[in-house]
Each structure stands twice: as structure tokens, then as C-alpha cells.
Amino acid sequence: MKTRGNVLFMSRRDRITYNLLMFPSFIILFALTLLPLIFSIVVSFTNYNMIRPGAVRFVGLNNFVYAFESAKFWKAVSITLVHVGVTVTCQMVLGMGIALLFSREFRLNKMLRSVYILPMMLTPVVCGIMWRMLFNTDYGFINYLLSLLRIPAVNWLGDAGTALWTIIITDIWMSTPFVTTLLMAGIQAISRDYYEAAEIDGTTGPQRFWYITLPLVKPMVFLALLFRVMDAIRRFDSIITMTNGGPGNATETLNLHAYFQGFSNFNIGYSSTLSFIMLVIIFSLSVVLLNAIQKAD
């Protein structure tokens, strides 16, 4: 009654106040995100190059055609797909497992939980430095562990076959706590009654997980997916710190590819085209996931 009453009697004056309160944020974000986006989309149809800024003209779809015919572009796309796909899948599985572990009541679980969320708060550049050191060929800790098992040293960051995996492991380390936190929120909101009733019916643990926990935390799973996919696509700091896109371009994701085109080669037009393609991918993915969230709710 209370909330509904408030909606019914929300006065004109209240509505004006609310809009005024919201307006500054709305205007600032409108001016700082939507306008630049539109500008960026326009630039993506030009041949703008910072080295010769005078000679800008529209080139139609040339940049897009160039991108779709460029082997480098498709390589960047496939690197992004592997990076995002593997990272997010591992994070969801690990995140769910750890959320189940930490949702139990046990001694010290509050303390463990608080230590556990540290990586998601830490500076990504520093995480990159830390893992770069651990993966170092000559004096890194990971090769030291391998040497104890009599496995020869691996040039993790310098080998095109392994570099992407170091990036993926670092990303998993950094962001799994975020997934866990969201999923734990979902798990803790489930009423204990369901589990008690299921236990009386003689179900097994995995059955309870599959038929009670999973369906009820589904909205949270999709929400975590949404956040993680978005963040993984635009992951920048830790990759730049660990491999700088190399060796060669073995870890050059679409985001880094666009960055290098714009700020190393000064191909502003083409860089905007790549950003625009990325934006379209992000936008369609978020529409799909937001729909899934609404359906699951």
C-alpha cells in the first residue's frame, strides 16, 4: 500500500524535483558518452590521420571493407574470442564453485571471504606486473615450480603459443571474485525451506544444485555474464603491462588493435572503424543478455 500510494500521489512538484535531481548526471553522461560516440561513428567513415590532419575526407565504407579483408583484423577478432570465451567460461565455473564453498557456515569464513575479494579491487596494472614477474622465464616462481617437477623452463610471455594463456590466467585471477560475489548474493537469497524439503524427499547434493540453486540464481548468472563479457572485451591495462600485445601480435585483442591503429599509427579514421565494430558487438551482446535477465526474473 505504501509504495503504491506513493506512486499514485506522486505530485507534479515531486516529479519536477526528481527530474531536476537526475538532470545533471544525465546531461553530463549524455555529453560525455553519446556525443563522442556519434562523433566517433562519423570519423569511422573518414580517412582521418593525425599525421596529415588537413586532408580529411569521407571514404564511405572503405575502412570497413579494409577491415573485413585484413588478416590482422580477423586475427584480432579470433584472439578476442578465445580470450573472452575462455576467461568468462572459467570465471563462471570457478566463481560458482567458490560461491558454493563460501556460502557454507564455517569458522573464519568471513575472514577468508574478505581476503578473497582483494583481486577485484587491485590496480590492474599492478596485477599485470605481478603476474609478469611470476611468469618470468629465468627467475619466475611458476618456472621454479615446474623445475621442481623436472619440467624445463617455459618462455611463457615470449612464446606466441603461451602468451595468451598467461593473459587469460591473470584475468581469471583478477575477476573471479566479482562473479563469486554476485552469485553469493543470489545463493544467500534462496530460502532454506527449499533445501530442507528437498532433503526430506531424499535428493542428492548435485540434484539440489541442479534443480534448486541453479534455476534460482539464474538472473545473477546472466548479470555476472553481462558484466564480465563487457569487461573482458575491453580489457586493456593488464595486457599492455604483461605483453604489450606481443610477441608479434599474439595477444593483440580487438581493443588493443584499435588502440595501436589510433595511437601508434595515428590512423584515427580506421581506429574509429574498429571501435565502432567493437561497439556493435558489445551492444548486441548486452541486448541479448539483458533480455535473458528479464526473462529469468
| 56 sits near other proteins (criterion: CB under 8 A) | no
Burial status of residue 158 (CB atoms within 10 A of its CB: 0-12, 13-18, 19 or more): middle
Q: Which residue has the cell 535473458?
A: 292
Is the CB of 160 or the CB of 189 nearer to other proteins?
189
Residue of 138, 150, 192, 200 that binds other proteins (CB under 8 A): 138
| 151 sits near other proteins (criterion: CB under 8 A) | no
Q: How near is the Cβ of 204 to other proteins at its closest, in Å?
A: 12
Which of 291, 254, 245, 260 shows the shortest CA–CA distance to 276?
254
Footprint of other proteins on 190-219 (CB under 8 A): none
The stretch near other proteins (CB under 8 A) out of 35-43, 70-78, 158-166, 190-198 is 35-43
Residue of 62, 70, 116, 203 that binds other proteins (CB under 8 A): 116
Show the cell assigned to 295.
526473462
Residues whose CB is less than 8 angstroms from the CB of residue 91 and which lie 6 or more positions away in sequence, other chains included: 171, 172, 175, 176, 179, 228
Show the cell assigned to 138.
629465468
CA dihedral 18, 24, 27, 32 (to 10 degrees): -140
Is the CB of 164 or the CB of 243 nearer to other proteins?
243
Residue of 82, 90, 146, 185 that binds other proteins (CB under 8 A): 185
Is residue 4 classed as helix, strand or coil in its secondary structure?
helix
Residue of 57, 104, 150, 192 that binds other proteins (CB under 8 A): 104
Q: How near is the Cβ of 197 to other proteins at its closest, in Å?
A: 19
Q: Which residue has the cell 575502412?
A: 63
Is the CB of 176 or the CB of 250 nearer to other proteins?
176
| 272 sits near other proteins (criterion: CB under 8 A) | yes
Footprint of other proteins on 61-90 (CB under 8 A): none
The stretch near other proteins (CB under 8 A) out of 81-89, 131-139, 155-163, 192-200 is 131-139
| Cα-Cα-Cα-Cα dihedral sign, residues 147, 152, 157, 158 | positive
Q: How near is the Cβ of 262 to other proteins at its closest, in Å?
A: 6
Q: How far apart are CA 224 and CA 222, in angstroms?
A: 5
